[in-house]
Structure 1
């Protein structure tokens, strides 16, 4: 039987991923680790926390060295301390399942894949937020600098080096297999000289969703979903330029802001949207359970996403499979992917107006999108991803 170690964090969809892996328990044992120097982890999202071991990086390397693991699955590159990557035993194959932030936004000042992520107003807001964080006394700066120097001297291993471009590139060279959320992301990384990983397919999914292979398209509401989180990559402020040109009477505008960014940013967006949209605006500042959030999404008839990188795919695909009309930035990785697959989606920059907002997809367009989603989101198709990886690991000369 295969044995795989998974590096994870307490995130919303990890419970579903554990359930997904469990469907192949006769072929592979999956262990789950959160790597942290602090052992007191408060679980906010996961309910399957009994499946998780919290270990520091040295303990992880010891576990990997003393147990017969065939592979290490890293769910988001940043959840592994990258200066420990070259300590992973060479007999263990390393899989990097990228989420997006871990190469579009990292390293912080020199992103591994550099594309323009922010539009003008969001750029200005980012500068404002950074300036407010930088307003500290000279004495405080001195203390922080001195403390940083001492830690660098005596606690190198305990530092976060994931934003160091040299450390990052060396860690990338240790990766054997890579899967992005979209296939085209492999091509973006494959241009890098230190990237030698082979391409694999892996999906984030939840088996409970596979039971919804509905023959008829469910009824949807007429509310509007704006973005997916309080991450500034949503370009919330720039999206207001499009929203102010239309009338949302009779619709609720739902703006999720409960995770993914700073409280300061969420509060600024909350204020800006309520000032423009008034009582029609429903900002989500507190975390909702998956069930409650999906119920809220069932009231949505239009989704608008202004990300430029791959992001918000769980929200986007949940809406696609219900026949919701979507407007994406036409310059985005999201738009390129979903257009290439054949979905009926629209350009925020060129298609969004009052008429486009008020007229839903035709029944034929809805059916087309739903069938496309079902084609790759059923039990047989999703499990094949795992079977293919297991077959790869069983090869004698892997």
Structure 2
């Protein structure tokens, strides 16, 4: 039987991944680790926290050396202190499952995939937020610099160094297999000379979503969902430019802002949207359980996502499968992927107006999108991804 270690964090969809892996327990044992110097972690999202061991980086390496692991699954590159990557035993195959931030926003000043992520107003807001944070006295700045210098000297090991380009690139050389959310991300990474990982397909899924799947066209609501989080990459302020002059009467505008960014940013966007839409706007500032959030999504007839990188795919695909009309940035990785697959989606920049807001997808278009989603989202297809990885590892052991 195969034995795989998983590096994770307390995220809202990890319970689903554990359930997904458990369906193959006859073929593979999966163990789960959070790598942290802080052991007293309070779990916010995961209900299966008893399945997780919290270990320091040194403890992780010791475990990997003493146990017979066939592979290490790193769920988001940043959840592993990258200067420890080359300490992983050579016998262990390393899989990097990228989430987005770990390639489009890291290293901080030199992202591994470098594309413009922010539109004009969001870029200006980011600079304003940075100026506000930097309004401290010269003495305070001096103290911070001294503290940072001492920490760098004394506590080198306790820092992740993941924003250092040299550390990041060296860590990339240790990766044997890579899976992004979209296939085209692998091609973008292949442009880097130090990247030599082979491509595999790995999906984030939840077996609960496979129940009662059919291609019936459901009844959907009339509300409008904008974005998926308080991450500034949603370009919330720039979205408003495309909504001017459009009447949203009879609809609620739902803006999820409960995770993914700072409270300052979330509150700034909530105020801007409340001012723009008035009492039709619902800003979600508090975390909502998955079941409640999906119930809320059932009231949505139109979704607007203005990210430029791959992002918000769980929300996008949940809406696609239920016949919701989506407007995305036509220059984005998201738009290019879903168009290439064949989904009926639309450009926020050129297609959004009063008429297109009021005109839902046809029944034929809804059914087409649902069938496309079902093609790669059913139980047999998703399990095949795991079994293919297991076959790969077993073949290498022979």
TM-score (norm. length: structure 2)? 0.99
Question: Any idea what the Cα deviations from partners look like across 1:93-127, whole Å, max 9, x if unmatched?
Answer: 00000000001000001101100000000000000
Query: Within 2, Cα distance between the matches of 1:355 and 1:67?
Result: 61
Please name the residue that 2:82 is paired with.
82
Distance 1:29 1:363 in 2: 44
Unaligned residue ranges in structure 2 (runs of 5+): none
User: What is the aligned partner in structure 1 of residue 73 from structure 2?
Assistant: 73
2:133 paired residue number = 133
Preserved contact between residue 244 and residue 276 of structure 1 (Cα < 8 Å): no
SS in 2 for 1:239: helix
Q: Secondary structure at the match of 1:396?
A: helix
Alignment check: 8 A CA contact 1:8 1:74 kept: yes
Residue number in structure 2 paired with 1:323: 323
Residues 109-120 of structure 1: matches in 2 within 5 Å?
A: 109-120=109-120
Q: Could you say which residue in structure 2 is the equivalent of 1:158? A: 158
| Distance across 1 between alignment mates of 2:71 and 2:322 | 36
Residues 121-148 of structure 1: per-residue CA shift (max 9 Å, x gap): 0000000001111111112111111111
Cα deviation, residue 289, structure 1: 0.0
2:29 and 2:151 map into 1 onto residues whose CA distance is 38
Partner Cα distance (1:308, 1:352) in 2: 17
Aligned equivalent of 1:200:
200
| Separation in structure 2 between the aligned mates of residue 336 and residue 152 of structure 1, nearest angstrom | 42
1:331-364: CA deviations, max 9, x gaps? 0000000000000000000100000000000000
User: Aligned residue for 1:383?
Assistant: 383
Residue 22 of structure 1: aligned partner: 22
RMSD: 0.8
- Measure, in 2, the Cα distance between the counterparts of 1:187 and 1:128: 35
3-state secondary structure, aligned to 1:178:
strand
- Answering whether residue 170 of structure 2 is matched by residue 170 of structure 1, we say yes
Determine helix, strand or coil for the equivalent of 1:193: coil
> How many Å apart are 1:189 and its aligned residue?
0.2
Partner of 2:148: helix, strand, or coil? Answer: helix
Identify the residue that residue 183 of structure 2 maps to in structure 1.
Answer: 183
SS in 1 for 2:229: coil
Instruction: Within 5 Å, give how 1:309-320 maps onto structure 2.
Output: 309-320=309-320
**Deviation (angstroms), 1:382:** 0.1
Matched residue of 2:396: which SS? coil
Asked whether 1:281 is paired with 2:281, we answer yes
Contact 2:223–2:254 (CA<8 Å) still a contact in 1? yes
Deviations 1:182-228 (A, max 9, x none): 01100000110000000000000000111131241110000000000
238 and 215 in structure 1: CA distance in 2 versus 1, 3 angstrom threshold:
closer
What whole-Å deviation, never above 9, does each CA across 1:270-302 have from its counterpart, x for those lacking one? 000000100110000000000000000000000
The answer to whether 1:36 aligns with 2:55 is no
Q: For residue 267 of structure 1, what is the aligned residue in structure 2? A: 267
Q: Equivalents in 2 of 1:395, 1:203: separation in Å? A: 22
Which residue pairs with 2:363 in the alignment? 363
Cα pair 1:8 1:33 within 8 Å, conserved: yes
Does structure 1 conserve the Cα–Cα contact (< 8 Å) formed by 2:215 and 2:370? no
**Aligned-pair distance for 1:396?**
3.1
Q: Report the count of equivalent residues.
A: 398
Secondary structure of the corresponding residue to residue 241 of structure 2? helix
Taking the aligned partners of 1:50 and 1:155, their CA distance within structure 2 comes to 30
Per the TM alignment, residue 311 of structure 1 is displaced from its structure 2 partner at its CA by 0.2
Q: How does 1:3-22 map to 2 (within 5 A)?
A: 3-22=3-22
Distance in 1 between the 2:203 and 2:134 partners?
39
Q: Helix, strand or coil for the counterpart of 2:217?
A: coil
Query: What's the offset of the Cα at 1:160?
Result: 2.4
Shift of 1:397: 6.6
Within the alignment, does 1:224 sit opposite 2:210 as a pair? no
Query: Which secondary structure does the structure 2 equivalent of 1:217 belong to?
Result: coil
Tell me the equivalent position of 1:291.
291
The residue aligned with 1:95 is 95
Could you list the runs of 5+ residues in structure 1 that have no partner in the other structure? none
**Contact (CA 8 Å) 2:10, 2:45: kept in 1 or not?**
yes
What is residue 122 of structure 2 aligned with on the other side?
122
